[in-house]
Amino acid sequence: MALQLWETLKESITAYTGLSPATFFTVLALGLTLYYVVSSLFGSDDAHIQQSSRGFEQQMEPLPPPVQLGEITAEELKQYDGSDPKKPLLMAIKGQIYDVSQSRMFYGPGGPYALFAGKDASRALAKMSFEEKDLNGDLTGLGVFELEALQDWEYKFMSKYVKVGTVTTTVPVTDGAAEGQASAAAESEAAKPEEAADGDVAKPAEDSPSESAAKETVETTPAVDAEKKE
């Protein structure tokens, strides 16, 4: 019975397709394999598109308005490097702090410029450097072209982002300045005894008129007595 069904199936395949049973089943297997591969590729693309759309929707969520911070230190600025999603993403150029939260894909964690976030990256931007030693606001030693590049970055930030504060700079007291202040204080202290001594010397000179007046009184007294006797 089974053999008769197989013979009938082979005859039907040959009659309807013009192919031998072996060729027919080979083509069928290849078709199923191709369908599986194509469906798996399109299925992964759909999943990727859905993930991308969800990420895009998250990025399109309205950002909170920028908060003015006023003057803060460079150490305090490090708190706004994007590690805390609840805090704004900040970055400074030439001491001016800007809110770059709208460009988190560039300056946030994993972005190409993530190293600049939470810092005054003036020197790094001027030199287009990603080295740790250049992640500061020191502009000494920069050339004309580097300063022009930094100026372009500053114009871009001023036109695109909101300024929310400034970075306070502290000028350290050098050893030379401290020694100068100490020597000046010592000189002023040494001058005080000399002034006091000069004042003591000047006092007798001031008292000299009274002494001369006393002498005149003594000299005139005998003359008066003589006149009385006469």
DSSP state of 120: B
Compute the distance between CA of residue 29 and CA of residue 43 in angstroms, rounded to an integer.
Answer: 21
pTM reported for the whole predicted model:
0.52
Question: How large a percentage of the chain has pLDDT more than 70?
Answer: 57
Q: What is the pLDDT of residues 158-182, one digit of tens each?
A: 999 999 999 997 655 555 555 556 5
Sort strands 162-167 and 70-72 into parallel, antiparallel or unpaired: parallel
- Residue 87 tokens read as 């805090």
The segments of the chain whose pLDDT lies below 50 read 56-57, 201-209, 211-230
Half-sphere exposure of 128 (CA within 13 A, CB side): 5
